[in-house]
Structure 1
């Protein structure tokens, strides 16, 4: 007869408590059921495992030899239950995120820090690329959650979108820029040398659409794929750039960049959460969405006060 794990668990409890009745109570079993497990274990070993004394039970030599294995099985079961509880509550597993450059650098870090503190055993992987690429990678199954700038470019795709918060693009210049001392008008934008994000970027798509609607010409000085690179170029006086207000808060506050807005130019766009339509989400992903939603709700309430 083979040794059964349940018999080891029962034996470990009896050995630890020194009493069959107390062991049955702790394991939430009837005493006859526990005794049946102990008989099966004794038959599998082929030797008595304990002797009943007036003061309780006394382990035999075979029982003492078996006890470390029984305690190991008991410990393994306890650890397995703890692990299963973590999995069930979303505290264990993996979270794979794809995010636009702006979202990855200026929106997600504070939320990821909060998530990692709450769920330290969840392995988080984040990949930053432009919004178009995020959609492509989501459709290929590369990530479970995505965050893009603006609305989805594929309205008929298998992707589902949920707006998280409204961001706006602003024109930033260096304090040495000729416009720093004046009040540029909308028509002046057609003469402005712009540093732009690469094709596929959500920031670029929103800017191009706004210029087209207003009949403005865009004069592109150069393209760069990173927001930080563009900010450095603007601060060096190379040109001007339309960037997320989230991305330039620090530099504007420090006086390294000046922020210009044109009332006629609507550059508001949402940061959008992307998932695969009909695809069940892992518990860590559900927990992260819950955190994002709660944070944005709180932020919205505070802004109304």
Structure 2
């Protein structure tokens, strides 16, 4: 595991990463997609499995540096064939799309480890296999896939990014981005923008994963990282954070990323619709505002139940 160093100039803990070839500029223009298929998957080896919240498990695996992906992408995970069951010698389970919860450098910042989070409450063969797995077990990967949670800006290091997840494993792609922004020491990437994270509810802290990690990140980076409860973005008061986020989207060209259920996305839209209707500006119709945000790649939604 990489050693965490103290940056003497910024007084922020940063971790050296490798290999730096993962900063290839071409990956920013054309992100890696579907490098592996169900017909030709990549086999990875599980390094650890642990329950990090009630019925939610973190799985770290070794892909040996062959699964190139960017922050915000996901893997298609499949259970490998079962050689011990003569009735299922060629079993290949249904592919399950699961976000990476680590940056391109992985959980151990070495370019070959990656992390995913899953809920054991799901009645799914792949999820059950992952939660019951031990170190040394194999899994088959396809992808990477999904692009809506990639950073939506040609200069992401200087932009404002608003991450919204109501609960559970939907936080995974945002943890990956925050690692890149604030935890990794990358010579060619220095984040100078603003990052806002809205996650979980005050009356249910159990649904918030990596809470201590995010609080530490905010303590280390108070000037440009802001960690809030999901409920705060639904605040309809004029001085609330919800109105502030709406103004950042409309006036400051911020980017918003919503990962979760359609119900969650609808909740946020209802609030923004109210702010649009009371706006003194020329654009008072939420549909028109949203259409413009979509056209500029500022409105980025991934439905992830």
TM-score per shorter chain, which class? under 0.3
- Choose 1 or 2 for highest CA Rg: 1
Name the structure where helix makes up a greater proportion of residues. 1
What's the TM-score, normalizing by structure 2?
A: 0.24
Higher RCO (C-alpha under 8 Å, 6+ residues apart): 1
